[in-house]
């Protein structure tokens, strides 16, 4: 592999990591409170608001069920409004975030619902407020599941970031399409695939290890 190819791969890997990191952070900032609310706003729950819960659930499901490449094209005007352009890594962050936020919300909702309701009832009996129960019981107890959920979301974002390269989003997907496909360079396509595999394995390993450590801390704490 030539030094130029290595430079291109390194640069594109940096772009992909930047896109994924920023979109994962912003999506988590939106998805975490949304997921907690979805898990605690049903009938008879901490923040009971069944109608709001249903409406938000429909919006989340609709966004999640939209194929990512269609979402990217459909929100181009919004992407231009936010990023000032519809191509490049900064523009790609917009659809990546919109796709990831509801996904993260559902994963966090699932993790919160796995918490033993006996702990919630015990906290209620001690006079804890709903917000205190969320912050001191639900989130700490659900943390291993939340970490695994966020790991899955980041892995999905790596795949989405490669897909967004098809519409000029930059990163490894863009490199694979421009060089591997359009210029008939199979070695470049292979290199892109291998780098993505390594990134996915690294993220999954780190997430699994962190979740196990948190789980042991909760059990022995």
Q: Which CATH superfamily is domain 3-220 in?
A: MetI-like (1.10.3720.10)
Give yes or no for residue 220 having a pLDDT over 70.
no
**CB count in 10 Å sphere of residue 215:** 15
Distance CA 177, CA 164 (A): 11
Distance from the Cα of residue 78 to its chain's centroid: 20
- What pLDDT sits at residue 21? 96
- What pLDDT sits at residue 221? 58
Question: 69 φ, ψ to 5°?
Answer: -65, -35
pLDDT tier for residue 147 given thresholds of 50, 70 and 90: very high
- What pLDDT sits at residue 143? 94
pLDDT tier for residue 80 given thresholds of 50, 70 and 90: very high
Give yes or no for residue 91 having a pLDDT over 70.
yes
Nearest to 201 by CA among 155, 159, 160, 146: 155
pLDDT tens digits, 120-132: 889 989 888 989 9
Spans of all domains in the chain: 3-220
- What pLDDT sits at residue 1? 66
Q: Residue 134: in which H helix or E strand, if any?
A: none
pLDDT tens digits, 99-142: 999 999 999 999 999 998 899 889 989 888 989 999 999 999 99
State the greatest distance between any 2 C-alpha atoms of the chain, in Å, as a whole number. Answer: 67
pLDDT tens digits, 157-216: 999 998 887 777 788 888 888 887 777 778 888 898 999 999 999 999 999 999 999 887
């Amino acid at each position: 592999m030539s030094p130029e190819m290595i430079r291109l791969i390194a640069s594109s890997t940096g772009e992909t990591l930047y896109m994924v990191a920023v979109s994962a952070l912003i999506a988590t900032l939106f998805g975490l409170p949304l997921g907690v609310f979805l898990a605690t706003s049903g009938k008879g729950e901490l923040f009971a608001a069944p109608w709001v819960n249903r409406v938000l659930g429909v919006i989340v499901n609709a966004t999640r069920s939209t194929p990512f490449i269609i979402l990217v094209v459909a929100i181009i005007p919004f992407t231009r409004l936010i990023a000032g352009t519809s191509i490049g890594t900064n523009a790609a962050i917009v659809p990546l975030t919109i796709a990831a936020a509801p996904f993260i919300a559902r994963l966090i909702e699932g993790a919160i619902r796995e918490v033993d309701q006996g702990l919630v009832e015990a906290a209620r009996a001690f006079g804890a407020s709903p917000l205190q129960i969320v912050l001191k019981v639900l989130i700490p107890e659900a943390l291993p599941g939340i970490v695994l959920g966020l790991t899955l979301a980041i892995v999905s974002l790596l795949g989405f970031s490669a897909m967004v390269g098809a519409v000029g989003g930059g990163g490894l997907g863009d490199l694979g399409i421009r060089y591997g496909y359009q210029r008939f360079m199979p070695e470049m396509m292979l290199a892109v695939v291998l780098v993505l595999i390594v990134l996915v394995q690294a993220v999954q390993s780190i997430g699994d290890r962190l979740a196990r450590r948190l789980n042991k801390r909760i059990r022995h704490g």
